[in-house]
């Protein structure tokens, strides 16, 4: 088990106290991070007392330590999962060789780019969610939002640690840039499109945490396989925190669906106008939000055919999620058929790994859909929620900009333009959802558009005062 020196300014299990240069570099970065949190983190909630989980070690007891604190006092630490003895590279051309404890020179710039791209998403999501606290549907939800925010902050620390510890001056410059880009900024936007989308309502937050944090899970799982051992260990630990973010998404959407079904029953109708008049969100509108955030998140896996993915895999930098579940770990002989608008194309499997990842991601996304549809079915309704086709509304890859319906069928461009507002939230849908966003901060009370959760956090009651506002 790793031990942590709590006396340290930066809680860690990476023996920071014995690396003065690295410690000083991080101590120099820390006030910049806190300044960023102050300017770009949850607005107007710095004085709030929040019931939060803090990682104080990586073992089963220590990673989920609960207590009430103000967010700027959160102890953002650096934690790596315990090292596996004699760990060997599990895939690619160097399979079976010892993993790397340092960055091999020839992979330096690619690994740095991969780490920076992952690191960029963490503060980006905090910026996107910055104003949501003002319209929380309950204190329980407000606390969950803040929990996600502080943990995304810690994930930024995790990536900055790797940059500082293994990439020298370039890494330190990248760490500063991670605080200089901002979500939606016209001049210095975040790297990936999804992380520049505005997020101004809680239905979007739940879809984001369901779909986009799940992309995060898949990225972290593929880095957990990496031959660069410090990256693997960092990401393995991040995954334990990430699970809660997806939990917030899945249960959030469940609670919206549950509330809508209650209203449908009370009114004896599935007429969206009447459901809306009652202050709940009709299922077709929920579907549009799912289609919007799912299609946006699908682009995060990159192009269907990619030489970058081939190079990252062959070299050992980035594996497939759950690499051990596959038979072939080298993939020099394998190929895959990829559907493009020009027809099916057989490409070397190494070049199709983004698509392999996207497919397993979509399977994982189905789990929540099944649960929600069971609720709808049990309530006696025909309506079913679905995932859009992976070709729908893509901006990256062979289907980018193609007029395709949610089933993946190509249609005329003008039909696409005309029908798009039936598939993703229209201006008026967004205006309606926004009209529901009023904050509810009485302990245990819920906004009218969402059912209460089945249980509270860490065995506490649902009506516990999870946040004290001052």
List, in sequence order, the alpha helices (H) in 268-346: 272-277, 283-298, 307-315
Phi/psi for 455 (5° steps) reads -150, 165
**Region binding Fe ion by CB under 5 A among candidate stretches 77-85, 213-221, 250-258, 414-422:** 213-221
Quote the CA–CA distance of 234 and 162 in Å, as a whole number: 9
190 binds Fe ion (CB under 5 A): no
Tell me the number of residues near Fe ion by CB under 5 A: 7
User: In the range 61-80, which residues lie near Fe ion by CB under 5 A?
Assistant: none
In the stretch 219-258, what mask flags binding to Fe ion with x, by CB under 5 A?
-----------------------x--x-------------
Tokens, residue 134: 């003002």
Q: Which is nearer to Fe ion, 166 or 208 (CB)?
A: 208
Q: Which is nearer to Fe ion, 122 or 174 (CB)?
A: 122
213 binds Fe ion (CB under 5 A): yes
* Residue 348 and residue 310 in contact, taking contact as beta carbons nearer than 8 Å: yes
> Bridge partners of 67?
52
Tokens, residue 156: 């930024």
**Region binding Fe ion by CB under 5 A among candidate stretches 13-21, 211-219, 256-264, 415-423:** 211-219
Q: Which is nearer to Fe ion, 133 or 316 (CB)?
A: 133
391 binds Fe ion (CB under 5 A): no
Report how far apart, in Å, the C-alpha atoms of 308 and of each of 220, 232, 301, 349 are: 17, 19, 12, 13
Task: Tell me 47's DSSP state.
Answer: T
Q: Which is nearer to Fe ion, 232 or 406 (CB)?
A: 232
Q: Which is nearer to Fe ion, 263 or 365 (CB)?
A: 365
Binder of Fe ion out of 112, 143, 155, 430 (CB under 5 A):
155
* Residue 16 and residue 165 in contact, taking contact as beta carbons nearer than 8 Å: no
For the bound state, the minimum distance from the C-beta of residue 130 to Fe ion, rounded and expressed in Å, comes to 15
**Region binding Fe ion by CB under 5 A among candidate stretches 147-155, 332-340, 396-404, 425-433:** 147-155
318 binds Fe ion (CB under 5 A): no
User: In the range 102-141, which residues lie near Fe ion by CB under 5 A?
Assistant: 122
Tokens, residue 167: 């990439």
Quote the CA–CA distance of 174 and 163 in Å, as a whole number: 7
Q: Which is nearer to Fe ion, 208 or 449 (CB)?
A: 208
Q: Which helix or strand (DSSP H or E) is residue 318 part of?
A: none
Task: Tell me 344's DSSP state.
Answer: E
List contacts with Fe ion (CB under 5 A): 122, 152, 155, 213, 216, 242, 245
């Amino acid at each position: 088990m790793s031990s942590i020196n709590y006396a340290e300014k930066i809680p860690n299990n990476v023996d920071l106290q014995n690396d003065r240069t690295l410690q000083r570099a991080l101590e120099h970065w820390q006030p910049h991070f806190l300044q960023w949190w102050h300017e770009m983190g949850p607005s107007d909630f710095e004085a709030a007392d929040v019931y939060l989980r803090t990682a104080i070690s990586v073992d089963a007891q220590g990673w989920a330590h609960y207590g009430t604190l103000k967010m700027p006092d959160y102890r953002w630490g650096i934690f790596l999962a315990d090292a596996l003895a004699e760990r060997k590279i599990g895939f690619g051309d160097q399979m079976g060789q010892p993993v790397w404890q340092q960055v091999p020179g020839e992979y330096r710039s690619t690994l740095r780019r991969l780490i920076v791209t992952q690191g960029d998403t963490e503060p980006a999501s905090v910026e996107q969610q910055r104003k949501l606290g003002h319209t929380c549907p309950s204190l329980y939800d407000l606390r969950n939002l803040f929990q996600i925010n502080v943990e995304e902050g810690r994930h930024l620390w995790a990536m900055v640690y790797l940059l500082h510890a293994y990439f020298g001056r370039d890494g330190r410059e990248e760490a500063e840039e991670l605080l200089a880009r901002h979500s939606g900024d016209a001049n210095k936007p975040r790297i990936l499109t999804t992380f520049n989308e505005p997020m101004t309502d809680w239905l979007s937050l739940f879809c984001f945490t369901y779909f986009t944090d799940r992309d995060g899970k898949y990225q972290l799982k593929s880095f957990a396989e990496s031959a660069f051992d410090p990256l693997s260990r960092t990401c393995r630990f991040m995954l334990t925190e990430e699970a809660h973010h997806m939990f917030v998404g899945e249960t959030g959407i469940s609670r919206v669906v549950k509330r809508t079904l209650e209203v449908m029953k009370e009114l004896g109708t599935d007429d969206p106008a009447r459901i809306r008049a009652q202050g709940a969100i009709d299922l077709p509108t929920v579907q549009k939000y799912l289609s919007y955030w799912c299609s946006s998140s699908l682009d995060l896996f990159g192009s269907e055919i990619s030489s970058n993915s081939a190079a990252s895999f062959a070299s050992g930098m980035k594996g497939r999620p759950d690499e051990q579940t596959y038979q072939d770990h080298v993939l020099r002989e394998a190929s895959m058929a990829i559907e493009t608008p020009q027809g099916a194309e057989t490409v070397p499997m190494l070049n199709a790994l983004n698509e392999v990842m996207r497919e397993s991601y979509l399977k994982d996304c189905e789990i929540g859909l099944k649960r929600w549809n069971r609720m709808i079915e049990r309530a006696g309704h025909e309506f079913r929620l679905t995932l859009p086709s992976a070709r729908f509304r893509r901006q990256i890859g062979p289907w980018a900009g193609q007029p395709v319906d949610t089933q993946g069928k190509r249609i005329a461009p003008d039909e696409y333009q005309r029908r798009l507002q039936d598939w993703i939230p229209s201006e008026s849908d967004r205006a309606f959802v926004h009209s529901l966003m009023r904050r509810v901060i009485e302990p245990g009370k819920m906004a009218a558009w969402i059912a209460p959760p089945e249980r509270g956090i860490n065995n506490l009651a649902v009506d516990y005062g999870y946040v004290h506002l001052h």
